[in-house]
Structure 1
Amino acid sequence: MEQDQGGLDTKARIIIAACELIEEDPASTLSVRTVAARAGVSMGSLRHHFPTQRALRDAVLETIYDVVTPDSEIIHDTSVPARDRLVRCLRQVLSVEVGERSRQAWIKFFDAFVVPEPTDDIRTAYVAMTSEGERRVERWLTLLANEGALPKGEITAYARLLNTVLSGLSMERALPSDHSILQRETEILYTAVDAILDSPA
């Protein structure tokens, strides 16, 4: 297996390079040439691991969500009530950016997706980013639905609702405020989660 001096294999180097590019520019299309150059690998090597740009982007977004906001222990701990597990998982998504980091993240987001004209590349980047966030919440909700904690029929709609709540709370973190963000976030997250868990089947 091809490795660099730091001991990372080629696939890991590619993902790390692509994650760095996404952090610098959320609307990055992750061109094969740019990612390969950043990773220090050939384009053929990159294509071997990721035959399409979509495969690369999906792997990168999954890595960002799984590494930054791991949930495997929280969501599977059935000794904790379903509502508390779900709120903790949602809170981990929010914990990525606080204070000035949150403000800078939203500035990058607006510069990438709101300010420019919506080209096909920008739409593709935005849909890929939001879709991975929704898939992650859907996985949590599916697990809870299998436990009987919520109805199975509306999982996609519930995931979109919860992601909308997360977006709103994340934006609030970037704005000036005179109230306790933690307390307010906790109240809002529990209100949203309870609305879903109490939904009629």
Structure 2
Amino acid sequence: MHTRERILRAAAEMIAEDVTTTLSVRAVAARAGVSTGSLRFHFPTQRALQDEVLTRIYQHFMPDEPIHDSSRPPRERLVDCVRQVLAVAGVGDEARKAWGTVHENFIAPEPSEKVRSAYLAQERVSAGRVEYWLGVLADEGALPREDFGPKVRFLLTVLNGLSVQRALPSGESVLQAETEILYTAVDAVLRPGTP
């Protein structure tokens, strides 16, 4: 295995053990069995390492992004991308467990720099993914090329809300209600002139 891959694997293992772990150069290098200089050669900053390993984890869980299937309308592809993210969290017990983990790691503890840094790294990768989807659609002319910041935050807020809804007890079909909400949110994002 190449050095870069050993480093990424070691960092992913550390995150799997503790999602709030600080991927320090020394700790990751020691775990990967490489020198700190070698790690710095491949990842000049701790943030670059953190972002790359979280991106790899994301790609592992969602290897096929529907955004590239240009035979389908942009609206359908964007809804499918968001739905794919939601699918990872599951429904019912699976979703409750996922949100329990989020609560345990990011909400319950004091907001230390370690907790804040770990959460912000995950948020950065999620925002980058949504921005990528919007960029693909902008390149195709489905929406104007602009600062996607507000649209990204809006879609992430919708995702968070729907994932919480999946964890809560419900008397109706969560997936049916979720589909209506997803189309409403995507329509708002794709509508010209909306921030």
What is the aligned counterpart of 2:183 among 179, 186, 190?
190
Equivalent residue letter for 1:90: V
Shift of 1:41: 4.0
Distance 2:16 2:170 in 1: 26
Change (3 A) 1:53 1:9: same
Equivalent residue letter for 2:110: E
Shift of 1:50: 2.1
Match of 1:133 in 2: 126
Q: The residue matched to 1:149 in structure 2 has which SS? A: coil
Q: The residue matched to 1:95 in structure 2 has which SS? A: helix
- How high is the sequence identity, in percent, across the aligned residues? 55
Please, what TM-score do these two structures have when normalized by structure 1? Answer: 0.84
Match of 2:71 in 1: 79
Shift of 1:193: 0.2
Shift of 1:97: 2.3
Q: Deviations over 1:7-28 (max 9, x none)?
A: x333222212222322332222
Match of 1:16 in 2: 9
- The question of whether the paired residues in 2 share the 8 Å contact of 1:25 and 1:108 is answered with no
What is the aligned counterpart of 1:165 among 158, 171, 179?
158
Please, what TM-score do these two structures have when normalized by structure 2? Answer: 0.87
Change (3 A) 1:25 1:177: farther
Change (3 A) 1:71 1:156: farther
Distance 2:67 2:34 in 1: 37
Equivalent residue letter for 2:157: T
- The question of whether the paired residues in 2 share the 8 Å contact of 1:29 and 1:121 is answered with yes
Match of 2:86 in 1: 94
Q: Flag structure 1 segments of 5+ consecutive residues without an equivalent.
A: 1-7
Change (3 A) 1:153 1:48: closer
- The question of whether the paired residues in 2 share the 8 Å contact of 1:32 and 1:46 is answered with yes
Equivalent residue letter for 1:15: L
Match of 1:176 in 2: 169
Distance 1:174 1:196 in 2: 25
What is the aligned counterpart of 1:112 among 105, 114, 119?
105
Match of 1:62 in 2: 55
Change (3 A) 1:32 1:154: closer
Q: How many residues align?
A: 193
What is the aligned counterpart of 2:27 among 34, 42, 51?
34
Shift of 1:37: 4.1
Distance 2:20 2:102 in 1: 8
Change (3 A) 1:152 1:192: same
Shift of 1:42: 4.2
Distance 1:86 1:183 in 2: 17
What is the aligned counterpart of 1:122 among 99, 115, 122?
115
Change (3 A) 1:33 1:16: same
Distance 2:160 2:18 in 1: 18
Match of 2:46 in 1: 53
Distance 2:96 2:126 in 1: 20
Change (3 A) 1:105 1:41: farther
